Amino acid sequence: MVCLEERSIGMEIKKDLQTKHPVEDLTDDPVIIEQVKRTITLAPLEKILNLARSNSLWPMTFGLACCAIEMMAAGGPRFDLARFGYEVFRPSPRQADVMIIAGTITKKMAPFVKRLYEQMPEPKWVVAMGSCAISGGPFVDSYSVVPGADKLLPVDVYIPGCPPRPDALIHGMLLLKEKVKNPKVVEEKPWKAIK
Amino acid sequence: MLRTEEFTLNMGPQHPATHGVLRLILHLDGETIVKVEPVVGYLHRGIEKLAEARTYTQVIPYTDRLDYLAAMLNNLGYVQAVEKLMGIEIPERAEYIRIIVSEMSRIASHCIAVGTYALDLGGFTGFMYPFREREKLMDMFEMISGSRMTHSYMRIGGVAADLPEEFYPAIKKFLKEFPSCVDEYDGLITGNEIFQARTKGVGVLSQEKAVQYSISGPTLRGSGVNYDLRKARPYGIYDRFDFEVPVGEKGDCFDRYYCRIQEMRQSHRIIEQALEQLEELPGGPVMAKVPKVLKPPKGEVYHEIEGAKGILGYYVVSDGTTKPYRVHIRRPSFINLDLLDEMCRGWKIADVVAILGSIDIVLGEVDC
Amino acid sequence: MESNKVAEQLQEYFQSIGNNRKVLTVSPDELIPLMYRLRDEYEFNYLTDETAVDYGDYFEVIYNLSRVPQGDILMVKTKVDKEKAEVPSVFEVWPGAIWFEREIFDLLGIKFTNHPDLRRILLDDSFEGHPLRKDFQWVGGREV
């Protein structure tokens, strides 16, 4: 059990917590109970960790093709991915949480993509950005292209477009945030993640 | 006898400074580069083969995805090659529109080249400013073609649509602001002492070597060779505009970088003139009368234009059917990368990034 | 551009030289001496492009030469049999040909004799076949 202050980010957790507050076991003083209830809330550790994770996903600096430029533009001055806390692009897979597959995966590159994914620490997520990463896109019938990232890795969010606009990438990252924060909901009722 | 042993260091294909999926195998003696072995092909999608199974018009979107930083220029090279093969004359209005959009594309590409070069050398702020201008250009491209990066705007016989009304005020505003923005880059990046220390005198490429090794674009001109196809062998209507070809002196990284900065100013001049002349033209069609199904006569054509990274050539062979028999693309980045080994020898590991950034490669184009 | 003139002037030196639709043609045996002559006497000092095309039973290797900085361009072609696809490398004339020829070797399977570093460049070393040949068969993504 972890305690959180009011008005903190944990406010979201408080809503769905209906169990008896443990402070009621310790004292009968209504003033203290009220004070403690007002300032301290309780939540399962997993939930709090997920909340923290979802608000600072670190993507890996990993551009494959055209979509990588839009990914850079999303990190650039106008779209400013930093507003959501996702601007910390890490060059090393060992420090990253999210792998944004931005571009065409070729058969020559596929083993490296897989190895990079394996080098990332758990928990980890994969975003397939653009039609090449989703299905091979315009190059699907080529002799050297892997038709979609999901042939290699488990993909969490698909962002359509060729290439997707930076706004679309941001939307995709926010959907991933919903998924990270609330894995059960997404597993059972995926439509609930899309508001 | 005491001696040091060479060792090899792998750089890439996932590396923040290789501009994509380039892999370099560095052979080192301590920190000094003995040999650099570029390994390319991690983005080889087989566009040349795919083009053989597409109609002539369907190839245009693939050219976008070659050099995705300057997609309009790639479109231009391909459609001009096919027009040359079929002998199509395109309307004057379309010629002007093509010049305007392709020079805008050149500026957008150089903005990325300059911005990422600053980023490679450790200046994050230098990356932000050129991207700001690029976003303005992207907005205008979106007005014209509906897409930010992969426009597919040009058609065989002209362009897809006339410029929209709201484009004119936007480009005028951009043209007014842009010179001061380039001054800003000059102040922020060019004038920076650390930047100069990292680039001046580094990775010198001699004039003879550059010509022997078929280097082109700002990389060639940085070495002092005045060879710009817009001047040497004008295509389209480039002979109607007054502009200069910026040329470097020493052929070091700084000269190559500075050529790009000056080229942005020249492109700005070309757009200004083209816009002025376009507005004097009466309205009219932007597409020549071409059949819906294109069947170029049997034959072949080789056409070159000056792309953002260098000479972009298209070799198209027709067998008289609706699909090209063979499309070969001469990609400037691919050939420019050949000389990386020569340029890096004797320099330190940190300079590899500076030299690679100064060639300005795009992996989509290198690997095709 | 001026292939007529060049072909006429060089007729006495090279037997196989020909001029077909503004393109200079030559047999592979005489390719290297011709290229030296074009570079030294005619000042075509820049190899802009080198590529090849598969025409079924034979290959055509195409060289595009330029004069820098004047900007003239000349196309030279040579024909080789598919059975014995070997062309002398022009890398000693223009060192820039190294990567052009590696690419042609990779995608079309034409061997360049005397080439210093003839390996696959774009495709993986384990790749079988040469994709730009017309008889290349592969399984594309849509079918799988």
Distance from CA of C133 to the nearest CA of B (A): 9
The pLDDT assigned to A1 comes to 41
The pLDDT assigned to B180 comes to 93
Secondary structure (DSSP) of chain C = --HHHHHHHHTTT-SS-EEETTEEEE-GGGHHHHHHHHHHTS---EEEEEEEEE-SSEEEEEEEEE-TTT--EEEEEEEEESTT-EEE--TTT-TTHHHHHHHHHHHH--EEET-TT---SSS-TT--S-TTSTT-----TTT-
Distance from CA of residue B316 to its chain's centroid? Answer: 20
Q: Which residue has the higher pLDDT, A185 or B134?
A: B134
Contacts of B60 (CB under 8 A, 6+ apart): B75, B78, B79, B152, B154, B155, B156
How far, in Å, CA of C33 to CA of C46, rounded? 16
Low-confidence ranges of chain C (pLDDT < 50): 143-144
**A37 and A80 share one domain:** no
**A73 and A132 share one domain:** yes
Neighbouring chains to A with at least 3 Cβ pairs closer than 8 Å: B, C
pLDDT over 60 (residue A2)? no
- Over residues C87-116, the pLDDT tens digits come to 999 988 888 888 999 999 989 989 998 888
pTM across the whole model: 0.89
Assess contact for B204 and B252: CB atoms under 8 A.
Answer: yes
How far, in Å, CA of B87 to CA of A189, rounded? 59
The pLDDT assigned to A194 comes to 58
- Over residues B126-182, the pLDDT tens digits come to 888 988 899 999 999 999 998 888 888 999 988 998 899 999 999 999 999 999 999
Cβ of C75 under 8 Å from any chain B Cβ?
yes
- Over residues A9-23, the pLDDT tens digits come to 555 555 555 567 777
Q: Give all domains of chain C, ordered by start, each with its CATH number.
A: 3-113 (3.30.460.80)
Beta-carbon separation of A141 and C142 below 8 A: yes
How far, in Å, CA of B151 to CA of B155, rounded? 11
- Alpha-helical (H) ranges within chain B are 47-51, 60-64, 71-86, 92-120, 124-145, 167-185, 193-199, 207-212, 218-222, 229-232, 253-280, 332-337, 340-344, 349-359, 363-367
| CATH number of the domain enclosing A116 | 3.40.50.12280
**A7 and A93 share one domain:** no
**A79 and A36 share one domain:** no
How far separated are the first and last CA of chain A, in Å rounded? Answer: 30
Beta strands C58-66; C46-54: pairing state:
antiparallel
Nearest CA in chain A to B368: A65
**A141 and A102 share one domain:** yes
Q: Give all domains of chain B, ordered by start, each with its CATH number.
A: 41-367 (1.10.645.10)
Instruction: Measure CB to CB from residue B43 to each of A64, A72, A163 and give the nearest one.
Output: A64
Which residues on A lie below 8 Å from C131 (Cβ)?
A: 143-144
Cβ of B36 under 8 Å from any chain C Cβ?
no
Kindly report the number of other CB atoms within 10 A of residue C86's CB atom. 11
pLDDT grade for A72, boundaries at 50, 70 and 90: confident
**A28 and A95 share one domain:** no
**A135 and A87 share one domain:** yes
- Mean pLDDT of all residues belonging to chain B: 89
Region for B152 from its dihedrals, namely left if φ exceeds 0, alpha if ψ lies in -120 to 50, beta otherwise: left
Beta strands C58-66; C73-81: pairing state:
antiparallel
Domain that holds residue A18: 2-43
Low-confidence ranges of chain B (pLDDT < 50): none
A54, part of any domain: no
Neighbouring chains to C with at least 3 Cβ pairs closer than 8 Å: A, B
Q: Which helix (H) or strand (E) holds B317?
A: strand B311-318
Prediction ipTM score? 0.90
**A92 and A171 share one domain:** yes
pLDDT over 50 (residue A185)? yes
Which residues on A lie below 8 Å from B14 (Cβ)?
A: 60-62, 91, 93, 112, 116
pLDDT grade for A147, boundaries at 50, 70 and 90: confident
Nearest CA in chain C to A111: C124
pLDDT grade for A189, boundaries at 50, 70 and 90: low
% chain C with pLDDT above 90 = 10
Which residues on C lie below 8 Å from B214 (Cβ)?
A: 46-48, 94, 96-97, 100
- Mean pLDDT of all residues belonging to chain A: 82
- Over residues B54-105, the pLDDT tens digits come to 899 999 999 988 888 889 999 999 999 999 888 889 999 999 999 999 999 9
**A38 and A71 share one domain:** no
Given the structure tokens 């082109």, which residue do they identify? B216
b/e sequence A15-39, b meaning 16+ C-beta within 10 Å = eeeeeeeebeeeeeeeeeeeebeee
pLDDT over 80 (residue A184)? no
Contacts of B95 (CB under 8 A, 6+ apart): B236, B237
A52, part of any domain: no
**A35 and A97 share one domain:** no
Instruction: Measure CB to CB from residue B328 to each of C51, C73, C95 and give the nearest one.
Output: C51
pLDDT over 50 (residue A6)? no
Which structure tokens are listed for B1?
């006898």
How many domains, chain A?
Answer: 2
Assess contact for B64 and B79: CB atoms under 8 A.
Answer: no
Cβ of B150 under 8 Å from any chain A Cβ?
yes
